[in-house]
Structure 1
Amino acid sequence: MTPPSLLLFLLLVSISSNPSTKATGAGAAAESPPTPTPWPLQFHSLLYVNGSGELSVVDLWYDWPNSRNFNIIQHQLGTLLYDLEWDNGTSFYYTLDDSRHCQTYHFDVGILRPDWLDGANYLGQQRVDGFLCNVWEKVQFIWYYEDVETKRAVQWVFYTGGILKWSW
């Protein structure tokens, strides 16, 4: 079994076009840009992924105090995959179906810190699925969209070819 990409940082799916951002208005240049909201120390979210027509839903549990991240990944018409990630870079991918596969991987990085967006480059605002979002770019390939009103994540775009949408 090929390892799925590390969720939150490496979950990559295809997109067809690059998003564009726009300034918030004439006075936007004079104002200080907003800063991204740090993540809660613990949260649960549903992620909807559409990659080149391959659909999946991911139940994500983020648990910074306990140094772990747990994902239940349901690929469309596919096997239910469990992904347990630890802050030391160790990840376990396994199934609980009749095949009972389990693989361990070690990545150079662990789970993301709650303030992982510190130092991100503010790009402006864009509407995404009806939400007005502030948009930041981090590490030259991730664009992060945060709802202006609620400060919650709306989507990520990975410029290695992916998009990730959130539901809270």
Structure 2
Amino acid sequence: MASATEERIGLFMCLCLFFFLHFSTSTAEDPIPAPWPEQFHSVLFLNRSGSLRKQDLWYDWPNGRNFNIIQYQLDVLKYDLEWNNGTTFLYTLDPFNHTCQVTQYDVGIPRPNWLDGANYLGQQYADNFLCNVWEKVGFIWYYEDVLTKRPVKWIFYDGMITDVMTFEVGAVLDDAHWQAPDYCFNKAEPEPQIHNRRSSFSLDLETAIVGDFRWTLMSEMR
């Protein structure tokens, strides 16, 4: 017959085994974010300290391009055209004054698996959807619908909130729309982008956020 001491030792070992298996299983079962489709169109609403804008995002990885068409609330419409060679055109068209800023980055557009290696934070409700939540390099917090694995929202380190309104997998913008206007090519050389999170606030907001997003995430995936 086992002594009381032996019974306590056996119980302790069983408890240790239970906790080991429990936490090992929990870690192994942590979900991973779904890669972005190689081509999609999404309508986004962005809010940064009350400054609102609507954004059409056209992501086209096979052709190495990404397009953000940005409508500011009761204000200008801007076009942010990004290429995988690192070139970005930020411009306006009629009826607004013709402006164009050309910037050269040393990284291309985010890859479909740019969330690889993100830190899983658990589940939260966001915009009435139960979401899995990840954080990537202290830069972006990403919310994905548990049921459909579609993105619901993401939040940048500076507080900019992006809410996903539509997500059309496989949608592709016609090639004719991917051409920057002639006046974007009047400058001799594009402006090189300094990849510094703090100094980026002194730059145009769209260029700063795009630059930080591309450089931070792509650098982590090299």
Give per-residue Cα distances to partners, 1:15-66, cap 9 Å, x unaligned: xxxxxxxxxxxx7873310011001000000010111111100011000000
Residue 198 of structure 2 aligns with which residue?
none
From 124, 143, 148, the equivalent of 2:146 is 148
In structure 1, stretches of 5+ residues that fail to align are 1-26
- From the CA coordinates, give the structure whose radius of gyration is larger: 2
Aligned-partner Cα distance in 2 for 1:106–1:78: 27
From 59, 63, 66, the equivalent of 1:66 is 63
RMSD: 1.5
Aligned-partner Cα distance in 2 for 1:125–1:36: 12
Give TM-score, length-normalised by structure 2: 0.61
Aligned-partner Cα distance in 2 for 1:28–1:128: 27
Larger helix percent: 2
- How many residues are paired up? 142
Which one has more relative contact order, counting CA pairs under 8 Å at least 6 apart?
1
Aligned-partner Cα distance in 2 for 1:121–1:113: 18
1:161 CA displacement: 2.6
1:81 CA displacement: 0.4
Aligned sequence identity (%) = 64
1:49-64 → structure 2 map (5 Å cutoff): 49-64=46-61
Larger strand percent: 1
Indicate if the aligned counterparts of 2:134 and 2:142 stay in contact, CA closer than 8 A.
yes
Aligned: 1:30 with 2:28? no
In structure 2, stretches of 5+ residues that fail to align are 1-21, 167-222
Residue 116 of structure 2 aligns with which residue?
118
Flag as ranges the 4+ runs of structure 1 deviating above 4 A. none
Residue 103 of structure 1 aligns with which residue?
101
Give TM-score, length-normalised by structure 1: 0.80
